[in-house]
């Protein structure tokens, strides 16, 4: 046997064992994630849709970006074998043609949907805008009357701060969705500001939308990992 062959054999088996170990670790991680979300129902809510574009800047509209980010989160959760539902899958709102108030009926339908599917948590995806165009960053909001919502928002905000120039703290908000969902745990995420030119550019790119979705997905998993088994 040649010298280099004698060297090659142990190196080959060493590489094989490292590969095997990496595979086992990845499999364990996957199993942990599946176990963390198992038994829970997660409701993903891409804000606005249809005639309601949400906030906008020239041709850049909030509802399209919300949907793109939300779909990515939804797909990642499906891979985790979670029970996950989404309020809309295309560019429409949930109100009837003859609704007196489209906005309120749309929100009520979303709330009805999440109640009917017995959602344990909801994650509503939005984008922000502000008159001061220097303001940027993802901001998480929680229900002031629910400790679990605050806990969920804190975990999520910490995760999203990886994308933010400046660290943000989760905030409470006087949202219709919060006031009308009773004890259902939930958060609203404003993923960034369309009024900030740099953030607007990033938010319109598929790559950054994916990054935001990955961050939110990780935040959801981290939250359920703290809850333990039910």
Q: Applying CB under 5 A, which residues contact Zn ion?
A: 47, 54, 126
Which residue matches tokens 């998993």?
A: 221
**What are φ and ψ of residue 136, in 5° steps?**
-150, 175
Cβ closest to Zn ion, residue 47 vs residue 170: 47
- Token duo for residue 181: 């969902």
Cβ closest to Zn ion, residue 110 vs residue 126: 126
CB of 173 to Zn ion, least distance (A): 11
DSSP state of 58: T
Buried b (16+ CB within 10 A) or exposed e, 120-131: bbbbbbbbbbee
Cβ closest to Zn ion, residue 33 vs residue 195: 195
CB of 15 to Zn ion, least distance (A): 50
Cβ-closest position to Zn ion: 126
**What are φ and ψ of residue 40, in 5° steps?**
-105, 155
CB of 64 to Zn ion, least distance (A): 12
Q: What is the largest CA-CA distance in the chain?
A: 86
CB of 125 to Zn ion, least distance (A): 8
Cβ closest to Zn ion, residue 120 vs residue 139: 139
């Amino acid at each position: 046997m040649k010298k280099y062959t004698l060297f090659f054999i142990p190196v080959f088996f060493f590489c094989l064992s490292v590969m095997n170990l990496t595979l086992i670790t990845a499999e364990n991680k996957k199993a942990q994630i599946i176990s963390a979300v198992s038994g829970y129902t997660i409701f993903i809510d891409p804000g606005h849709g249809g005639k309601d574009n949400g906030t906008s800047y020239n041709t850049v509209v909030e509802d399209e970006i919300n949907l793109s980010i939300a779909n990515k989160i939804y797909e990642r959760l499906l891979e985790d074998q979670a029970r996950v539902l989404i309020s809309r899958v295309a560019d429409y709102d949930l109100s009837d043609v003859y609704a007196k108030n489209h906005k309120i009926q749309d929100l009520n339908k979303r709330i009805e949907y999440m109640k009917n599917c017995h959602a344990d948590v909801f994650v509503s995806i939005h984008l922000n805008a502000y008159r001061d165009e220097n303001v940027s960053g993802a901001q998480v909001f929680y229900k002031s009357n629910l400790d679990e919502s605050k806990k969920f928002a804190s975990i999520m905000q910490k995760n999203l701060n990886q994308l933010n120039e400046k660290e943000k703290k989760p905030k409470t908000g006087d949202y219709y969705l919060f006031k009308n969902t009773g004890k259902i745990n939930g958060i609203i995420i404003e993923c960034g500001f369309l009024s900030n030119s740099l953030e607007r550019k990033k938010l319109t790119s598929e790559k950054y939308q994916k990054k935001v979705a990955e961050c939110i997905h990780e935040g959801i998993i981290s939250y359920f990992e703290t809850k333990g088994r039910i």
